[in-house]
Structure 1
Amino acid sequence: MKKIKITYWLTTALLALFMAFSAYGYLTQAEMKAAFGHLGFPDYFRAELAVAKLLGAVALLAPVGPRVKEWAYAGFAIPFVSAFVAHAASGDPVTNRAWPVAFLGLLAVSYLAYHKLQAGRPQSVPAPRAEVAVGA
């Protein structure tokens, strides 16, 4: 269980850091603005994606419910796949296409480790229901 916990926190921290730094870059670097234009995305999408990445990074690191974490994982998987497709469709070099795939792999390792940790936790058991006799 300790190995799984280390794997989870290491991959999740790397992923969250990458997301936070890339979000910062989306908002501050002219090169990122040019890259989004090259891929055919409107300028406002850069800001939307930056905010979503920051919120997702917080959701992965914060002690929130499982449903929020599931949405964060899904919310990161979609842009990774989309980035791969966008780079491939625009004719970018293979190295530009490899980064989203590599981070999708990191996301998958974090996700699988998260689920293994969740499976090892004791589940809360609902209290038994009291039955009420009607018409007795």
Structure 2
Amino acid sequence: MKRNKIIFYIATVLLSVIVLFSVWMYIFKHDMIVGSFTHLGYPPYLIYPYAGLKLLGLFAIWNPNFNVIKEWAYSAFFFAFVLALSSHLMVNDGGHTVALMALVLLIISYIFKQTNK
């Protein structure tokens, strides 16, 4: 039981670091992110709402009282990371590594979340 909690916390903390770094980049390096979003084919007006939704998703994942919302957050992050992975692979810009790491950490966090009670 203790091993499972440790795995959950390590995976979720590393996932949170990746997501918080991306939110930080969206807010404080906005001009660079506009270029990245445009290069990937996404409209730049999605940057700030996407950053806010990422923060809400992290809040839901870490909050033990929101079980249904937590499932939705895991689902949303899964689709976001799969789409990010495929977008980076399609334009071949090398950004797929972080998306793949986030996806793996998300899956590990989800598998071991049931034991975190």
What TM-score comes out, normalization by structure 2 length?
0.90
Which of the two has higher C-alpha Rg?
Answer: 1
2:106 is equivalent to residue 111 of structure 1: no
For 1:91-134, what per-residue CA distance to the aligned partner results, in whole angstroms no more than 9, with x for missing partners? Answer: 32xx322221121001000000012x16xx6xxxxxxxxxxxxx
State how many pairs are aligned.
Answer: 116
**Contact 2:60 2:66 (C-alpha < 8 Å) held by counterparts:** no
RMSD: 1.5
In structure 2, what is the equivalent of residue 64 of structure 1? 65
Identity across matched positions, percent? 34
Instruction: Name structure 2 gaps, 5 residues minimum.
Output: none
How much does 1:31 deviate? 1.6
> Where does residue 51 of structure 1 map in the other structure?
52
Residue by residue over 1:74-103, the C-alpha shift from the partner in whole angstroms, topping out at 9 and shown as x without a partner, is 1111111101111122232xx322221121
Q: Counterpart of 1:36?
A: 37
The equivalent residue for 2:12 is: 12
Q: CA deviation at 1:13?
A: 1.6
Partner-residue secondary structure (3-state), 1:63: coil
Deviation of 1:69 (Å):
1.1
Unaligned runs of 5+ in 1: 122-136
Name the amino acid aligned to 1:64.
N
